[in-house]
A and B are shown apart, each in its own frame.
Chain A
């Protein structure tokens, strides 16, 4: 497992309590799992994603990732409609481990309320939470 110092948590992403990330890209928000989540889960072997068109509230379960160690729910960092899913994860779920912020993205969301982005952690905020929680 990585130490907190080893985690890659880019500045231009926002982070949720359960270590989903959200990144504003034009009028949509791209969502994935952060480096901490993928590192804790270990090698991911299966990903369940929602249908395009599904609508979720912030905090709803939108999918599931399965690693050798565990099966984990993924929660919406912001509410909205799913407008795209990363179908490459079907055949290559390990992309989440290999490239959590790029090739391993999970869904694109058309946010219902863009202000929900402001409820998420910045890089500094999530780092502080990790240190306080003694999650490492």
Chain B
């Protein structure tokens, strides 16, 4: 068990983190994510306040055609301060007209709510921090659809048109949306096609007093699929391999720019500027000594722990050029002829056994290009890392639900 922002959470369950990580790719994993906080933002000024405080342009954030946000859709971005630094990242979903929900990280419900309240400036908006009042369980992996299907009273209706980054239902029995998704015992849930693994799956939001029951129902429903409870270690290696940042580690108290997540900023099509004004915008436009965050992949499973020694990044000439933000081992991938394959890669070499690769994020004082090699070092060891645009190939997060239902 580990203390995670005040929540006592398992690093792993008895199966161990490697088994848990692999279970999400090949079977299904279940994650207790009740530490995350939900904030409701409602009122005629809600959209305008979010446009001011959130990095995504909610008027043009959905799909390739840049459609505006609409009920049932969600989008990823960050809340920044005046310096352009990250208060927290978040997925925001629209529940209804003038009603939004922001899902933020452990312990951040209060900080983000205060930030929103401080910037209300006369707008008609109500901000409710639901920290610890909403339970959240993630069901992620290859078999997530048939498992979640078994939980629901009305699965056909729910699964009809539920693409990636959309949701249905509500965790509040009093909501008008509560009828959209109900468990077999009638409990309303909010079911979202989102997650933090890079793999196909759902996040389920439920009233906190029903959380334990839901967990047990999921474990039962997943028994024939080999469902595996997963701890923080597997969550960390899955998300790193999927090039997803950990708030306050990969993004944090430095300007939220020059990183692998430009889709979280409101760039115009030409990437020459932003399409809206927001808190932190002018700071991002005026960064004087830029730093660049990159994903890297190592050459074997060995990693350089970031919480030990003095972890630094060197160029091949041995000059210190930056810091390591995340370095973990994704145990489902390996290199063959210098190309990375996953256990799910359709073109993986015959007899492929993943030996694991170290991977994560580094923050560097000068721009690098994909393919560049750096050295990651702490007191104990030095490893080579390649700057990459993607880490674990052939991820399933965006796979169509009807296809995954046949898994």
A64 beta carbon closer than 8 Å to chain B = yes
Once the chains are docked, how many angstroms separate the CA of A68 from the CA of B237? 9
Complex Cα distance A92/B142, Å?
A: 26
Which residues of A sit under 8 angstroms from B17, Cβ to Cβ? 42-43, 68
Q: Are B302 and A66 in contact (CB under 8 A)?
A: yes
Q: Give the number of residues in A that approach B within 8 Å (Cβ atoms).
A: 14
B233→A71 contact, CB < 8 A: no
- Decide if B18 is an interface residue (CB 8 Å cutoff): yes
Q: Are B308 and A71 interface neighbours, CB within 8 A?
A: yes
CA distance A70 to B16 in the complex (A): 14
The one of B12, B305, B328, B380 that contacts A43, using a Cβ cutoff of 8 Å = B12
A-B contact count (CB 8 A): 47
Min CB gap B300→A, angstroms: 8
Which of chain A's residues have a CB closer than 8 A to the CB of B328? 68
Neighbouring B residues of A45 by C-beta, 8 Å: 18, 301, 329, 331, 356
Judge whether A46 is part of the interface by a CB distance below 8 angstroms: yes
Hey, which chain B residues are within 8 Å of A46, CB to CB? 300-302
Among A68, A70, A97, the most chain B Cβ lie within 10 Å of the Cβ of A68
Assembled-state Cα–Cα distance A93/B401 (Å): 38
A71 to B379 alpha-carbon distance, docked (Å) = 11
Residues of chain A with a CB closer than 8 A to B12's CB: 42-43, 68
Chain B residue nearest to A67 in the complex (CB): B17
Which chain B residues lie closer than 8 Å to A68 at the CB level? Answer: 11-12, 16-18, 233, 237, 328-329
Question: Which residues on A sit within 8 Å (CB–CB) of B308?
Answer: 70-71
**Which A residues touch B130, using CB under 8 A?**
none
Q: How far is the CA of A69 from the CA of B307 in the complex (A)?
A: 10
Q: Does B303 contact A (CB under 8 A)?
A: yes
B272 → chain A, closest Cβ, in Å?
A: 43
How far, in angstroms, from A94 to B233 measured CA to CA in the complex? 16
A66 to B331, CA, bound (A): 13
Are B303 and A43 in contact, with the CB atoms below 8 A?
no
Within 8 A of B (CB), among A50-80: 64, 66, 68-71, 73
Q: How far is the CB of B357 from chain A (nearest CB, A)?
A: 11
Q: Are A66 and B301 in contact (CB under 8 A)?
A: yes
Q: How far is the CB of B329 from chain A (nearest CB, A)?
A: 6
B1 at the binding interface (Cβ < 8 Å): yes
List A15-69 residues whose CB lies under 8 Å from chain B: 42-43, 45-46, 64, 66, 68-69
- Closest chain-B Cβ to A62's Cβ sits at a distance in Å of 14
Q: How many Å from the CB of A64 to the closest CB on chain B? A: 7
Residues in A with CB closer than 8 Å to B210 are: none
Does A1 lie at the interface of the complex (its beta carbon under 8 Å from any beta carbon of B)? yes
Q: Is there an interface contact between A71 and B381, defined as CB atoms closer than 8 Å?
A: yes
Bound complex: CA A70 to CA B327 (Å): 11
Q: Report how far A120 CA is from B208 CA in the complex, Å.
A: 51
Query: Shortest distance in angstroms between B306's beta carbon and chain A's nearest beta carbon?
Result: 11
Query: Measured between C-beta atoms, what is the minimum distance from A6 to chain B in Å?
Result: 13
What B residues does A70 contact at CB under 8 A? 305, 308
- CB neighbours of B303 from chain A (8 A): 66, 71
Shortest CB-to-CB span from A2 to chain B, Å, is 11
By beta carbon, the residue of chain B nearest A46 is B301
- Residues of A contacting B329 in the complex (Cβ-Cβ under 8 angstroms): 45, 68
B22 to chain A, nearest CB (A): 12
Of B16, B237, B305, the residue contacting A71 (CB under 8 A) is B305
A119 to chain B, nearest CB (A): 26
Interface centre among A45, A46, A64, A94 (most CB of B within 10 A): A45
CB distance A69 to B381 under 8 Å? no
| Contact between A42 and B305, CB atoms less than 8 A apart | no
Q: A64-B381, A68-B11, A68-B233 are in contact. List 18 more A-B contacts (CB 8 A).
A: A42-B16, A42-B233, A43-B18, A45-B329, A46-B300, A46-B302, A68-B237, A68-B328, A69-B11, A69-B233, A70-B305, A70-B308, A71-B304, A71-B308, A71-B380, A71-B381, A94-B18, A97-B16
Top 5 nearest A-B pairs (CB, nearest first) are A43-B16, A68-B17, A68-B233, A46-B301, A45-B301
> Can you identify 25 A-B contacts, CB atoms within 8 angstroms?
A42-B12, A43-B17, A43-B18, A45-B301, A45-B331, A45-B356, A46-B300, A46-B301, A64-B380, A64-B381, A66-B302, A66-B303, A68-B17, A68-B328, A68-B329, A69-B233, A70-B305, A70-B308, A71-B302, A71-B303, A71-B304, A71-B305, A71-B381, A94-B18, A97-B16
B residues neighboring A (CB under 8 Å): 1, 11-12, 16-18, 233, 237, 300-305, 308, 328-329, 331, 356, 380-381
